Structure 1
């Protein structure tokens, strides 16, 4: 067996504890079959990327896990509890930031806590901690229109972290920023995965990004979507953020995923 074959083998499912279980999920939009009998396990405390061609159902699956969409059939479990709608165990980081334009940074970051009835002093202390963690210290009183796109996305990430959800759902969160900011976000995300002890589910169109940030990559086929392959990069995960992209095995996995997806790209 080659080294690359070893890297893409799916491990024994019993060896990894799942935070989120997707079981036989199908989703129809009228006559359009978006997802078909899709099953997938998301290991606790790790980052799983959903990767595939445009229109393959990545965001649909993410919204079903979030409880924002109801599946046609099948079920989702988070920590053994069936998902019947949105819940405090999951937080969503949107592609378009979804900030309140009339609220400053600290109010935006603390909004989820405010909706839970957390007292002002407590929620502001929590918000300030995560504002510092995402690199926005000093901008607590700024408003969204005063921030760059990258800074607004950091506010959205801090808001998701502040509610202390066990599962963070991220829908192409870095797609609206420039390449330099995107690379910095990717590095920061690796640190969050290591330090926050949360389960991250990350939608991206970028093969390189998926391989860089992920403990597990689920490749989805075009509609009706189902899981084509599970890849678990491992050999370069602890080599440091500056060394991953130069690692030969990183490059091999990127090439292997592209070879797998090439025929599905129009």
Structure 2
């Protein structure tokens, strides 16, 4: 990272409240060293993308933050509290939807609240709000097999939003949908970040997607993974979404990231 970019990243971090911190995270799978002394801060209320070549440990890091995997060493803090396992302050959106096939959209979205013992009328009112927010109003009684892949992913997102976790962890949530649906999801994600007051940590393989949706992009090196560079797109963040992909800064950052990652692509 250049000194200018590094100084900018540090100054921004100092000015922003941190929701999630990873400190010197190492993760070994037998003799394989997946993560090595990886440290990264995630600003509150913003979306950070984890971007890097296949196999660099993006999903491993996400699962460690979720408490689904235990690091070999190092620690994770969420809102100043040490992570020792899964907790209600984090919600995970899986790449493969992970819906209950026998349950309606309403039941799937409300399921996390049901596990917490929330009364049926209350949990369905909350679920209805997020079903509407992700664009599925009218499909409350439908079942997963009756929905397209994009619609099923919206159900998974609504379920994560409904439990009111402060940190949402998204593992390539748009990878299984067509390009048109993916672009619409990306625009919806920008609206969610703007209005939900949550911290989003987003794994993606797409450079263009990361630049479009992110407040912060952390580029990870190949195994053993650590943070290579932090980029914070700023110039086009408040512009009309329809013009972002033509913005010179957007195009320059996409090219810059590709130049950084090109040598790691087999």
TM-score band, normalised by shorter chain: over 0.9
What SS does the corresponding residue of 1:158 show, helix, strand or coil? helix
Taking only aligned residues, the RMSD between alpha carbons, in angstroms, comes to 1.3
Q: Distance in 2 between matches of 1:160 and 1:32?
A: 32
Measure, in 1, the Cα distance between the counterparts of 2:6 and 2:184: 26
Match of 1:81 in 2: 81
- Residues 1:29 and 2:51 aligned together: no
Please list every run of at least 4 consecutive aligned residues from structure 1 whose deviation after the TM superposition is greater than 2 angstroms. Answer: 5-9
Structure 1 residues 11 and 236, CA gap change in structure 2 (3 angstroms): farther
Q: Give the equivalent residue in structure 2 for 1:146.
A: 146
Q: Is the 8 A contact 1:9 1:230 kept in 2?
A: no
Gaps of 5+ in 1: none
The residue that corresponds to 1:10 in the other structure is: 9
- Residues of 2 paired with 1:116 and 1:23: CA distance? 31
- Write the distance in 1 (CA, Å) between the matches of 2:62 and 2:171: 8
Question: Equivalent residue for 1:160?
Answer: 160
Secondary structure of the residue aligned to 2:245 is helix
Aligned to 1:106: 106
Offset at 1:16?
1.4
Secondary structure of the equivalent of 2:101? Answer: coil
Q: Shift in Å at residue 6 of structure 1?
A: 6.0
Distance (whole Å) between structure 1 residues aligned to residue 6 and residue 57 of structure 2: 26
- For the residues of structure 1 that align with 2:46 and 2:172, how far apart are their CA atoms? 17
Which SS does the other structure have where 1:243 is aligned? Answer: helix
Contact 1:8 1:231 (C-alpha < 8 Å) held by counterparts: no
- The residue that corresponds to 1:230 in the other structure is 230
| 1:11 positional shift | 3.6
Secondary structure of the residue aligned to 1:236 is coil
Where does 1:75-224 land on structure 2 (aligned, <5 Å)?
75-224=75-224
Q: 54-63 vs 234-243, which deviates more?
A: 234-243
CA separation of 1:78/1:7 partners in 2, compared to 1, >3 Å: closer, same or farther?
A: closer
Runs (5+) with no aligned partner, structure 2? none
